[in-house]
């Protein structure tokens, strides 16, 4: 009986670009657009600049593009820095059934590895599709237990997707691929204590996952043997990092049901668990023509993970912490009419009007949402006005989920907003290139990105 990673390895090594349905190729392109857009915006933030400054000062072979840097760096350094930049806004794509952000680990790793080996767009699109596959399937099997134990799935499981993608790009055989996945599983890490303190450095989790994915493949290529039972073994990842894991449907539809199609994209620069509440509050304000000063209280019922992640009554004192405060983010969205990245600044965090309303935003869970999770990750919101009026709205899923999908136009608009301030000509050229990526090399793509980050 083959182990889980051996079964995934056999599948990855048997897939070709021609096996991908047209809609899967299109989705992989749109998610690449989204990830590069949030990365270009992310390199302006403090923690990515720290990482870029440090890695840019190291010597090493010139292999791959580090967004926001003037010269190329080793591929593992590019993957690390670009993974950090891509997660800094907290607007990267995700998968609600796994509580995970696959793209931010997979795409930076695949971009760096492709560029270092002069591979093309078809190679890249196949590779990232395979990376999403293992991340989403494994994370779905492990959660919510894994999250409840305090692990950040993007860091712990993201490394498997980064290794899978780079293993496909390297042309590993099944034995080498299984070793790479086993080596990757040993390196997955990410503690959710950063939600209580140190939120600035949360992006190090996907950055390290992307970097470790490349490292795992390079070691497997050189003959390193990873443990075949790294997931389900007695001392493997499952037993170490979860109290319960459901693997009975792990391989259902493998090869026909591509999990990359289940991704959501984000339209608010906050933790995804806050999005249904923001959507609901803004819709009520629009429909009933309520102004910020009209609001008295906002009462939210939602699912347990949202409350445990973001429901604290203690208000944040940093912009990074504000992204994980339901109360503050909802009050801020009501104040400005949106929760875009440019809203999360230190000046806004200390805004007394926003903080006053935030103190009157409450969040709790109930049986309805607990039973619906993760099929529904929504919220019920009751808004009371200062005139004594009461308004109620229920949002089962926020915008951007497959059941409430983003259109191509939504993807493009978000990309344009995240790249505002760059040359419109260069931005449009980058968009055109990604949408026809099968006709280009990744070196072409990297050069286009550099033109948009100077």
Residue range 242-278, pLDDT digits in tens: 999 999 999 999 999 999 999 999 999 999 999 999 9
What six digits make up the tokens of 75?
Answer: 């591929």
**DSSP bridge pairs for 251:** none
Whole-structure pTM value: 0.95
CA angle 417, 418, 420 (to 5 degrees): 65
Helix axes 408-418, 424-435, angle to 10 degrees: 140
Task: Report how far Cα 264 is from the mean position of its chain's Cα atoms.
Answer: 9
Distance in angstroms (rounded) separating the CA atoms of residues 165 and 231: 18
Distance in angstroms (rounded) separating the CA atoms of residues 32 and 34: 5
pLDDT digits (tens, 9 = 90+) for 304-315: 999 999 999 899
**Predicted pLDDT at 183:** 98
Mean pLDDT of the 131-135 span: 98
**Predicted pLDDT at 147:** 94
Domains of the chain from N-terminus onward: 4-267+416-451 (1.10.4100.10), 272-395 (3.30.1330.120)
Of the pLDDT bands very low, low, confident and very high (cuts 50, 70, 90), residue 198 is confident
CA-to-CA dists, residue 235 to 185, 227, 228, 375, 447, angstroms:
12, 11, 12, 31, 44
Strand runs labelled E in 74-208: none
pLDDT digits (tens, 9 = 90+) for 347-370: 999 999 999 999 999 999 999 999
What six digits make up the tokens of 417?
Answer: 């907003």
Of the pLDDT bands very low, low, confident and very high (cuts 50, 70, 90), residue 197 is confident
Task: State the chain's mean pLDDT as an integer.
Answer: 96
Whether the pLDDT of residue 195 is over 90: the answer is no
Find the helix or strand (DSSP H, E) in which 121 lies. helix 121-142
The SS3 assignment for 95 reads: strand
């Amino acid at each position: 009986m083959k182990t889980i990673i051996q079964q995934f390895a056999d599948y990855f090594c048997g897939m070709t670009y021609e096996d991908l349905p047209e809609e899967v190729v299109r989705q992989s392109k749109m998610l690449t657009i989204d990830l590069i857009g949030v990365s270009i915006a992310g390199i302006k933030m403090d923690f990515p600049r720290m990482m870029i400054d440090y890695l840019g000062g190291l010597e090493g072979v010139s292999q791959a593009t580090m967004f926001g840097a003037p010269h190329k760096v080793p591929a593992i350094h590019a993957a690390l820095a670009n993974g950090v930049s891509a997660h800094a806004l907290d607007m990267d794509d995700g998968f609600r059934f796994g509580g995970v952000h696959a793209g931010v680990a997979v795409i930076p790793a695949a971009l760096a590895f492709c560029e270092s080996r002069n591979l093309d767009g078809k190679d890249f699109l196949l590779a990232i599709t395979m990376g999403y596959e293992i991340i989403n399937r494994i994370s779905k099997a492990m959660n919510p237990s894994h999250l409840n134990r305090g692990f950040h799935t993007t860091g712990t499981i993201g490394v498997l997707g980064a290794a899978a993608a780079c293993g496909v790009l390297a042309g590993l055989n099944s034995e080498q691929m299984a070793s790479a996945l086993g080596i990757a599983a040993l390196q997955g890490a990410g503690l959710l204590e950063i939600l209580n303190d140190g939120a600035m450095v949360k992006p190090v989790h996907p950055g390290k996952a992307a970097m470790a994915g490349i490292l795992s493949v390079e070691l497997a290529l050189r003959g390193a043997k990873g443990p075949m039972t790294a997931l389900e073994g007695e001392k493997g990842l499952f037993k170490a990092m979860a109290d319960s894991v459901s693997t009975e449907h792990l391989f259902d539809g493998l090869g026909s049901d591509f999990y990359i199609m289940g991704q959501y994209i984000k339209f608010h620069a906050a933790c995804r668990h806050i999005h249904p509440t923001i959507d609901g509050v803004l819709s009520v304000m629009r429909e009933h023509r309520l102004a910020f000063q009209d609001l008295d209280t906002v009462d939210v019922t939602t699912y347990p993970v949202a409350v445990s992640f973001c429901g604290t009554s203690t208000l944040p004192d940093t912009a990074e912490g504000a992204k994980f405060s339901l109360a503050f983010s909802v009050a801020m969205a009501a104040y400005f009419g949106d929760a875009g990245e440019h809203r999360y600044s230190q000046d806004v965090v200390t805004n007394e009007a926003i903080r006053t309303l935030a103190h009157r935003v409450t969040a709790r869970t109930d049986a309805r949402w607990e039973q619906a999770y993760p099929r529904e990750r929504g919220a019920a919101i009751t808004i009371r006005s200062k005139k004594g009026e009461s308004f109620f709205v229920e949002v089962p899923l926020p915008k951007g989920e497959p059941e409430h999908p983003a259109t191509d136009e939504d993807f493009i608009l978000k990309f344009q907003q995240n790249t505002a301030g760059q040359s419109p000509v260069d931005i449009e050229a980058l968009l055109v290139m990604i949408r026809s990526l099968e006709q280009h090399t990744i070196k072409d793509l990297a050069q286009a990105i550099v033109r948009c980050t100077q």
